[in-house]
């Protein structure tokens, strides 16, 4: 039985620590001098015989490998997956999905798509969500995204799409952004992109955290049970912390304040022992129902609405260990959609078929040859025995004289396996050799409309704003107009609202909106009350009310949130009103509100006066308010909120009643030296709601 640690036991054999070692060459020759090269005389030329210099610099010269052609920017972590029970055994022979006793080790890599390896995390983009399960029956890779649909229907269009979205070739601008002419030119001419474009313009494209986004296998795959019966399946990952997003203004600022925002968030959560979790779910469709839908199951630009086919829970994934070395693990991991195990198979989805070619091919150039599966992060925990030999970077010493099948000289080994083998699902294929898209793939508008109809008011507003931003960056009028024409087939109000924002006439006429919706598509319906791992900024200066700081910090931390004390003016410590000292975590000037979920301004007359006179602190509060975040202030701290010119109604209520919890703003006075119980309760409740989306912040100048 594979334990959750089988992969780590394997990797322990190659993990290397420098502790208690002394410097050597690659050949193990000990070195006592690595600061000066070997020269002919003190000011003379470097000598060719300086093997240490040559080895050191040569290795350095070869340190880089090609970045992934897409999904170059990413972050990963180890974890494990365990099914809740065995119900899925009726549908699949895959043990790791059906044996609740088996905890399967895995590695997940999250990524953005368009940007280079060093690009910012918070760009508007799809997020990759790729999972390598090291199962007892071999490696299974679920190479998905955080959107359930894809931009194109046939993989032969992938180079076209990627060329359009990547930085433009003449000047390599813009980095990691879709807001430029070539992408929208392509979109305007290729309506199959529209459904995924709607997702891209939605808040799904700017997740608050990798830990707070859904994952999807996208394609319809096939499960195959022990009797060889097939069932269509779509895979879903649902985050336990709910699905939440940033706002666009915030994203752009975070890209400067902390380009590693999502990467750091994942790292910190795992280091802090707050392990991210997702539930794996499946939508199952009997083969007899293949044609029961008004779209084609093989078309990756379509979802199966969850209201039509429910997502049934299978098990849970927990990520509980960060990598030791980014390059060795996160960079060298090689995913491949064709890495399947018995019980999981493909369908004829032409996008999937193309991927099954592309992923193996890309690793050959990226990882330098055919032995990349022997790189530690890629090695299965299942036994490997092939007749494949030699090649760059061969790590194994294959003994014996035979490397062919059949043989007698090697005792017939490796023998042909006779149990738990992968058998391709048997299906009859018959047809003319043609290059033509199936007619059943031709409806490009119904599901974008379904998506639009399913959005909450504020989600629709964000989509309109996103289109205005993106098309506002498009110079070519023809492209802008053509995109509006496409949007008009989705919904006239959408097209008109976007047109207004980019100074164009709303397109005439329109396709009638079918009026259907799927509530599961809205993030408004994926709430969570949890404040786990939420980051709260506590703004302080000398003279602060120390008990309020300590109390909020303690009580939030009991709930799993993280409060950081930001010192105005300096870090180190601030002197409090009662003469004690309060430790500062971060100097306020080095931090921006955008990297926090909420802000608390405690009282203390001197502290509040300092903060109210400090433009950075005042802006901090106003900006957090603008981004719909939870704002709290106690006693004189309310003066800082007043100075920021925000939360007028809450301030009025607080003045009248001595306490206010209104629209994500909590204001109140301490009594007997502590914050009232409901202060922290209301604060946590607002924080758990993630954002106060109904707050109108359009006039806040931040």
Burial class (CB in 10 A: 0-12, 13-18, 19+), 423: exposed
Sole binder of ligand HDD in the list 7, 52, 80, 109 (CB under 6 A):
109
Q: Which is nearer to ligand HDD, 358 or 643 (CB)?
A: 358
- 130 is a site residue for ligand HDD (CB under 6 A): yes
Is 444 an annotated catalytic residue?
no
Cα 36 to its chain centre, rounded Å, is 45
Contact mark string toward ligand HDD, 35..74, x via CB under 6 A: ---------------------------------xxxx--x
Rounded Cα–Cα distance for residues 58 and 263 (Å): 31
Minimal distance, residue 79 CB to ligand HDD, in Å: 15
- 323 is a site residue for ligand HDD (CB under 6 A): no
- Residue 603: CA atoms inside 13 Å, Cβ hemisphere, count? 15
* Stretch of residues binding ligand HDD (CB under 6 A), selected from 5-13, 347-355, 431-439, 479-487: 347-355
DSSP H/E element including 345: strand 344-345
Sole binder of ligand HDD in the list 78, 91, 158, 210 (CB under 6 A):
158
Give the nearest residue (CB) to ligand HDD.
Answer: 128
Rounded Cα–Cα distance for residues 278 and 605 (Å): 45
Q: Footprint of ligand HDD on residues 425-484 (CB under 6 A)?
A: none
Sole binder of ligand HDD in the list 145, 252, 551, 593 (CB under 6 A):
145
- 354 is a site residue for ligand HDD (CB under 6 A): yes
Minimal distance, residue 267 CB to ligand HDD, in Å: 16
Q: Footprint of ligand HDD on residues 71-90 (CB under 6 A)?
A: 71, 74
Which residues define the annotated binding site?
Answer: 68, 109, 158, 355, 359, 366
Q: Footprint of ligand HDD on residues 160-219 (CB under 6 A)?
A: 218-219
- Residue 51: CB atoms within 10 A of its CB come to 14
At residue 408, the 3 state secondary structure works out as: coil
Rounded Cα–Cα distance for residues 128 and 112 (Å): 6
Sole binder of ligand HDD in the list 93, 300, 340, 577 (CB under 6 A):
300
- 111 is a site residue for ligand HDD (CB under 6 A): yes
Burial class (CB in 10 A: 0-12, 13-18, 19+), 408: exposed
Sole binder of ligand HDD in the list 4, 128, 276, 603 (CB under 6 A):
128
- 3 is a site residue for ligand HDD (CB under 6 A): no
- 107 is a site residue for ligand HDD (CB under 6 A): no
**Residue found by looking up tokens 């974890």 in the block:** 79
Q: What is the DSSP letter of 309?
A: S
- Residue 200: CA atoms inside 13 Å, Cβ hemisphere, count? 27
Q: Which two tokens stand for residue 617?
A: 């602190």
E strands present in 211-367 = 215-216, 221-224, 230-239, 277-286, 312-321, 344-345
**Residue found by looking up tokens 């897409």 in the block:** 70
Rounded Cα–Cα distance for residues 386 and 158 (Å): 32
- 150 is a site residue for ligand HDD (CB under 6 A): yes
Rounded Cα–Cα distance for residues 453 and 515 (Å): 7
Q: Footprint of ligand HDD on residues 483-512 (CB under 6 A)?
A: none
- 350 is a site residue for ligand HDD (CB under 6 A): no
Beta carbons within 8 Å of 303's beta carbon, 6+ residues apart:
148, 149, 234, 447, 518, 521
Largest CA distance in the chain: 94
DSSP H/E element including 142: strand 138-145
Q: What is the DSSP letter of 295?
A: S
Q: Which is nearer to ligand HDD, 124 or 480 (CB)?
A: 124
Q: Which of 52, 80, 139, 145 is catalytic?
A: 145
Q: Which of 52, 71, 444, 492 is catalytic?
A: 71
Beta carbons within 8 Å of 523's beta carbon, 6+ residues apart:
203, 204, 243, 244, 245, 456, 459
**Residue found by looking up tokens 């629209």 in the block:** 663
Sole binder of ligand HDD in the list 93, 120, 143, 484 (CB under 6 A):
143
With contacts defined by CB under 6 A, how many residues of the chain interact with ligand HDD? 26
φ and ψ of 160, to 5 deg:
-65, -50
* Stretch of residues binding ligand HDD (CB under 6 A), selected from 36-44, 137-145, 399-407, 622-630: 137-145
Is 378 an annotated catalytic residue?
no
Q: Which is nearer to ligand HDD, 283 or 488 (CB)?
A: 283
Minimal distance, residue 369 CB to ligand HDD, in Å: 15
Sole binder of ligand HDD in the list 81, 184, 199, 335 (CB under 6 A):
335
Which residues define the annotated binding site for heme?
Answer: 68, 109, 158, 355, 359, 366
Minimal distance, residue 255 CB to ligand HDD, in Å: 21
Minimal distance, residue 162 CB to ligand HDD, in Å: 8
Torsion of CA 221, 224, 229, 234, to 10 degrees: -30
Minimal distance, residue 216 CB to ligand HDD, in Å: 7
Question: Which residues are known to be catalytic?
Answer: 71, 145
Q: Which residues bind ligand HDD (CB under 6 A)?
A: 68-71, 74, 109, 111, 128, 130, 143-145, 150, 155, 158, 218-219, 300, 333, 335, 351, 354-355, 358-359, 362
């Amino acid at each position: 039985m594979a334990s959750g640690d089988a992969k780590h036991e394997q990797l322990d054999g190659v993990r290397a620590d420098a502790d208690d070692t002394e410097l050597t060459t690659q050949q193990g020759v000990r070195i006592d001098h690595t600061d000066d090269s070997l020269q002919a005389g003190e000011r003379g030329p470097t000598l060719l015989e300086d093997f240490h210099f040559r080895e050191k610099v040569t290795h350095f010269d070869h340190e880089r490998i090609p970045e992934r052609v897409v999904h170059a920017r990413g972050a990963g972590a180890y974890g494990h997956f365990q099914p809740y029970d065995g119900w899925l055994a009726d549908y699949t022979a895959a043990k790791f999905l059906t044996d609740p006793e088996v905890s399967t080790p895995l590695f997940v890599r999250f990524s953005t798509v368009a940007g280079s390896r060093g690009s910012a995390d918070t760009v508007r983009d799809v997020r990759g969500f790729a999972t390598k399960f090291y199962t007892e029956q071999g490696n299974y890779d679920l190479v998905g995204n955080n959107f359930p649909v894809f931009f194109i229907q046939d993989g032969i269009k992938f180079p076209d799409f990627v060329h359009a979205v990547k930085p433009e070739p003449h000047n390599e601008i813009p980095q990691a952004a879709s807001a430029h002419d070539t992408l929208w030119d392509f979109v305007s001419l290729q309506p199959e992109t529209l459904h995924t474009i709607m997702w891209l313009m939605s808040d799904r494209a700017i997740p608050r955290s990798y830990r707070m986004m859904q994952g999807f296998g996208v394609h319809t795959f096939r499960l195959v049970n022990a009797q060889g019966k097939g069932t269509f399946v779509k895979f879903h990952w649902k985050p336990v912390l709910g699905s939440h997003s940033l706002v666009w203004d915030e994203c752009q600022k975070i890209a400067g304040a902390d380009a590693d925002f999502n990467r750091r968030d994942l790292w910190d959560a795992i280091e802090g022992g707050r392990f991210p979790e997702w539930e794996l779910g499946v939508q199952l469709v009997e083969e007899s129902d293949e044609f029961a839908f008004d779209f084609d199951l093989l078309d990756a630009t379509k979802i199966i609405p969850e209201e039509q086919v429910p997502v049934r829970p299978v098990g849970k994934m927990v990520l509980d260990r960060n990598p030791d070395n980014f390059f060795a693990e996160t960079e060298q991991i090689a995913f491949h959609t064709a890495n399947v195990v018995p019980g999981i198979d493909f369908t004829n989805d032409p996008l999937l078929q193309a991927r099954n070619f592309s992923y193996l091919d890309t690793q050959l150039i990226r990882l330098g040859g055919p032995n990349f599966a022997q790189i530690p992060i890629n090695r299965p925990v299942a036994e490997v025995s092939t007749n494949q030999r030699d090649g760059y970077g061969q790590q194994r010493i294959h003994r014996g004289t035979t490397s062919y099948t059949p043989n007698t000289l090697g005792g017939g080994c490796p023998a042909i396996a006779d149990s738990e083998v992968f058998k391709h699902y048997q299906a009859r294929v018959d047809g003319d050799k043609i290059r033509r898209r199936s007619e059943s793939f031709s409806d490009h508008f119904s599901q974008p409309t379904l998506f639009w109809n399913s959005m909450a008011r504020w989600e629709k507003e964000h989509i309109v704003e996103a289109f205005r931003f993106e098309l506002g960056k498009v110079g070519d009028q023809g492209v802008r107009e053509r995109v509006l024409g496409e949007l008009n087939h989705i919904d006239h109000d959408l097209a008109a609202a976007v047109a207004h924002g980019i100074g164009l006439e709303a397109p005439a006429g329109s396709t009638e909106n079918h009026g259907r919706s799927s509530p599961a598509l809205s993030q408004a319906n994926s709430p969570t009350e949890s404040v786990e791992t939420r980051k709260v900024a506590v703004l302080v200066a000398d003279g602060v009310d120390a008990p309020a700081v300590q109390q909020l910090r303690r009580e939030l931390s009991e709930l799993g949130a993280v409060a950081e004390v930001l010192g105005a003016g300096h870090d180190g410590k601030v002197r409090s009103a009662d003469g004690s000292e309060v430790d500062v975590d971060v100097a306020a000037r080095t931090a921006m509100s955008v990297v926090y979920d909420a802000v608390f301004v405690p009282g203390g007359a001197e502290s509040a006066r300092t903060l109210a006179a400090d433009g950075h602190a005042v802006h901090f509060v106003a900006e957090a308010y603008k981004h719909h975040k939870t704002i709290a202030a106690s006693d004189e701290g309310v003066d800082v909120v007043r100075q920021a010119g925000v939360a007028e109604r809450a301030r009025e209520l607080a003045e009248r009643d001595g306490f206010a919890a209104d629209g994500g703003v909590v204001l109140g006075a301490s009594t007997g030296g502590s914050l009232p119980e409901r202060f922290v309760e209301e604060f946590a409740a607002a924080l758990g709601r993630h954002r106060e989306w109904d707050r109108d912040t359009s006039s806040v100048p931040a």
